[in-house]
Amino acid sequence: MGRRYARRRENAHAVSSQSKVLVTGASGLLGGAVAQMLLDTGYAVRTFQRRPAADQVESVQGSVTDTEAVARAVAGVDAVIHLAAKVSFTGLWSEFAATNIDGTGNLLAAARHAGVRDFVFVSSPSVAHFGSSIVGSPAGIADPERARGNYARSKAAAELLALAEDSAAFRVAAIRPHIVWGPGDTQLVERVIERARARRLPFLDHGTALIDTTYIDNAAAAIVRGLERMDHAHGQALVITNGQPRPIAELIAGICVAAGVPEPGWSVPGWLARGAGSGIEKAWTAAGARGWVHDEPPMTRFLAEQLSTAHWFDQRHTHQVLDWVPQVGVAEGMERLAAYYGQSGQRRVSPVT
């Protein structure tokens, strides 16, 4: 990302009539793609993340839990796209709440105080997923009490907090990209590859559950479009997907083929995985609190539910509000993934952490 940022910086800052946008969490795959797309479109961009930025783009280092750093980050910007979050299948509630809820509150308060006009909160469909299948449904209302797992519950609370601040003077929209993937993805793609290579990746219920996903370029474009269409999008939560539901087995097999690793050859009943996931999650959280483990567990109840229940969404309202449709289909995305991995799995896959 660094070289691409550097190439675009001069042009972006020369477009003085365009807005300056703060992107939090720009060190992640999606945050980096959003920042790059803004630069490519001609916006001035400032990033905000905990680690030092390797790019030449204007950047502020810090955490959303640090009110002074947040104030520095929002000073002089016209809009905020907030992606920074604690993302994990396990962990203490206090850690999720501090970053995802309190951190969002800090950013909202600082943005209002600084005179920011528009605020895009990047959320997750998991805020309205309660364990049962979602079949062609609209976005649904975020519910911290019913969402599954500390990540989803904290994101649900943060989304409600953000949308409650929406007004004519401070416009807020929530964009929920669903299962984002693509070259460089460590959250889904590399975990699938590593576990498939180690023969530790079963299907649940033979992988028949129908799910929708979002290719990285589509997710980034939709988030930027949410900012550009704030007149129409503010006050709403919009789910973003490719609009191409596929059986989980087909998607996982596609990733494995792209990377040149064996496809899963065995299946586990979904009910068994959900029960085992509950126990593993509790044990993993306790061990993590003691510093005994630092990686993700092999299974949690939330993950088992995601892998054994359908979840795909009606995208008509999203397309109408954003005046946008995805440009990269699943098949093309898999071709790009295969090119990234050299079509033979020779590209090094970093360890799951």
- Taking residue 288's Cβ as centre, other Cβ atoms within 10 Å add up to 19
Reduce the secondary structure of 120-163 to three states and give it as a string.
EEECCHHHHCCCCCEEEECCCCCCCCCCCHHHHHHHHHHHHHHH
Q: Is 342 left (phi over 0), alpha (psi -120 to 50) or beta?
A: left
Residue 151 is a catalytic residue: yes
Is 143:154 a contact under the CB 8 Å cutoff?
no
8 A C-beta contact, residue 70 and residue 62 = yes
List beta partners, residue 122. Answer: 175
Interatomic CA distance for residues 111 and 254, integer angstroms? 42
Among residues 236, 118, 105, which one has the least CA distance to residue 169? 118
Element (DSSP H or E) covering residue 204: strand 203-204
The residue from 5, 151, 215, 341 that is catalytic is 151
CA 87 from chain center: how many Å? 9
Q: How does 233-258 read in b/e, with b if 16+ C-beta sit within 10 Å?
A: bbebbbbbbbbbbbbbbebbbbbbbb
State the burial class of residue 167 (Cβ atoms within 10 Å of its Cβ: 0-12, 13-18, 19+): exposed
- The answer to whether 58 and 98 are in contact (CB under 8 A) is no
- Alpha carbons within 13 A on the beta-carbon side of 130: 9
C-alpha to C-alpha distances, 201 to 90, 128, 148, 207, 265, nearest whole angstrom: 19, 27, 22, 11, 8
Residues labelled catalytic: 151
